[in-house]
Amino acid sequence: MAKLAVVGAGLMGSGIAQVSAVAGHDVVMRDVGDEQVARGVAAVRKSLDRFVAKGTVAEADADAAVGRITTTTDLDAAADADIVVEAVFEQIDVKRDVFAALDRICPEGTLLATNTSAIPITQIAAATERPEDVVGTHFFSPVPMMALCELVRGRRTSDATLRRAREYAEGVGKTCVVVNRDVGGFVTTRLICALAMEAVRLYEAGVASAEDIDTACRLGFGHAMGPLATTDLTGVDVLRHASLNVWRETADPKFFPPEIVTRMVEAGELGRKSGRGFYDYSEG
Encode pLDDT of 165-217 as tens digits.
Answer: 999 999 999 999 999 999 989 999 999 999 999 999 999 999 999 999 999 99
**Cα distances (Å, whole numbers) of residue 50 to 44, 147, 235:** 10, 18, 22
> What pLDDT shows up at residue 74?
97
Q: pTM above the 0.85 mark?
A: yes
91 Cβ neighbours under 8 A, 6+ residues apart: none
> What pLDDT shows up at residue 284?
65
88 Cβ neighbours under 8 A, 6+ residues apart: 7, 8, 13, 94, 95, 98
Q: Which of 105, 160, 106, 104 minimizes the C-alpha distance to 132?
A: 160
Dist CA 215 CA 20 (whole Å):
35
Q: Which of 165, 31, 184 minimizes the C-alpha distance to 117?
A: 184
> What pLDDT shows up at residue 100?
98
C-alpha 63, offset from chain centre: 25
CATH 3.40.50.720 residue spans of the chain: 3-179
Tell me the H-state helices in 55-113: 59-67, 92-105
CATH 1.10.1040.50 residue spans of the chain: 188-266
For the beta carbon of residue 211, count every other beta carbon within 10 angstroms: 13
3-state DSSP helix/strand/coil % of the chain, to nearest 5: 50, 15, 35
Dist CA 31 CA 231 (whole Å):
26
Residue stretches of the chain with pLDDT short of 70? 284
Express as a percent the part of the chain with pLDDT over 90. Answer: 95
> What pLDDT shows up at residue 230?
94
Q: Are the beta carbons of 177 and 187 closer than 8 angstroms? A: yes
Class of domain 188-266: mainly alpha
Peptide bond into 142 cis (omega under 30): yes
Instruction: Specify the amino acid at residue 95.
Output: K
Dist CA 203 CA 199 (whole Å):
6
Q: Which of 60, 44, 50 minimizes the C-alpha distance to 12?
A: 44
SS3 131: helix
> What pLDDT shows up at residue 1?
84
CATH 3.40.50.720 describes domain 3-179: yes
